[in-house]
Amino acid sequence: MILVTGGAGFIGANFVLDWLAGSDEPVVNLDKLTYAGNMETLAPLKGDPRHIFVRGDIGDSTLVADLLAKHRPRAVVHFAAESHVDRSISDPEAFIQTNIVGTFRLLEAARRYWSELPAGEKSAFRFLQVSTDEVYGSLQPADPAFSETNRYEPNSPYSASKAASDHLTRAYHHTYGLPVLTTNCSNNYGPYHFPEKLIPLMIVNALAGKPLPVYGDGQQVRDWLYVKDHCSGIRRVLEAGKPGETYNIGGNNEKPNIDIVHAVCALLDELRPRAGGSYREQVAFIKDRPGHDRRYAIDASKMMRELGWKPADTFETGIRKTVQWYLDNPEWVTHVQSGAYRDWVEAQYATAAA
């Protein structure tokens, strides 16, 4: 049994689906179902006894302690977070509450649970903190990619809150001996991505005939990893990572945002041609995000060297699968956009609580 937090979000849900596709080890999935959590993504697991979904907050110490005592997981894989940089700029409070205070409470509950475990289970227990490359700040064009020893220089409220949670995780290992693992991953893309983030936003807007908004000059460089490869990296770290260590996960796919947008347009031109010309004609440059980091790049050589992990997909194969997934799943997108699934969740839980 493992406890996953944030398993109704983009990466967490992909992780849970992949986990149960490859193993019969059950998952307790604790998720608050914020706007970013989506039960529809988990629909394939409906009625599956291996998946126990609990709607709740990682900051609810009593709930987390009860879940740990009841299900006795061998590991906690911690995805739950506020994750959108733009939202962190307009309203940082939730980022502090969930990413910092929530992670602290989760760590504290995990420490109490772990400290009471019998010796064998205690040494086998793991707390895996899922983090981001954004904690390292921004690179100049000629700088080497981020390694695990780069200093932390977070620039947005989002990355600062993730940095704080990484530090707390590290401190729980150093001070209390909690067997923690931290992964810092580059930008993910793939199925079930909420259409406020770059790639799904471009696909969805392109198909709707809307402008494709690109910040500034579009030359912000990101390192892109297909979400399934992030999930396989996390599974590998959980399996073989050394407690107290940090592992960078990346796809070695550095690309400026505008190239990503053009790649999406080219695939749509091929797979769902538009009358009257290329989707590229919908690109609209808009005012840049304040404090926008210029370049992130991940050096994932430690993962490859020490754990033998490497991504299965290149950007070209991953982006093709992603565009095809959005073309094949218009209902998922429509429901996310209409908020229908959120209405459903509210009604569902109102009934359950009554």
What residues line the site for ligand NAD (CB under 6 A)?
5-6, 8-12, 30-34, 36-37, 57-59, 79-83, 98, 102, 130-132, 162, 185, 187-188, 194
**With respect to ligand NAD, which residue has the nearer C-beta, 78 or 173?**
78
Active-site position among 40, 82, 113, 158: 158
The nearest distance, CB 115 to ligand NAD, in angstroms, is 23
Task: Tell me the C-alpha distance between 153 and 160, whole Å.
Answer: 8
| DSSP alpha helix (H) spans, 125-193 | 157-176
Residue with tokens 């986990």: 19
Active-site position among 40, 57, 82, 134: 134
Mark whether 133 is an active-site residue: yes
Residues 6+ apart with CB under 8 A from 26: 1, 2, 49, 50, 51, 52
Residue with tokens 């993910």: 188
The nearest distance, CB 78 to ligand NAD, in angstroms, is 7
The nearest distance, CB 84 to ligand NAD, in angstroms, is 7
Residues 6+ apart with CB under 8 A from 142: none
**With respect to ligand NAD, which residue has the nearer C-beta, 279 or 297?**
297
**With respect to ligand NAD, which residue has the nearer C-beta, 67 or 279?**
67
Task: Tell me the C-alpha distance between 229 and 15, whole Å.
Answer: 10
**With respect to ligand NAD, which residue has the nearer C-beta, 282 or 322?**
322
The nearest distance, CB 116 to ligand NAD, in angstroms, is 24
C-beta nearest to ligand NAD: residue: 9
Reduce the DSSP state of residue 1 to 3 states and report it.
coil
Mark whether 158 is an active-site residue: yes
**With respect to ligand NAD, which residue has the nearer C-beta, 82 or 205?**
82
Q: What end-to-end distance do the CA atoms of the chain give, in Å? A: 29
The nearest distance, CB 38 to ligand NAD, in angstroms, is 7
C-alpha pair distances (Å), 307 with each of 35, 94, 144, 250, 303: 35, 35, 22, 14, 5
State the catalytic residues: 133-134, 158
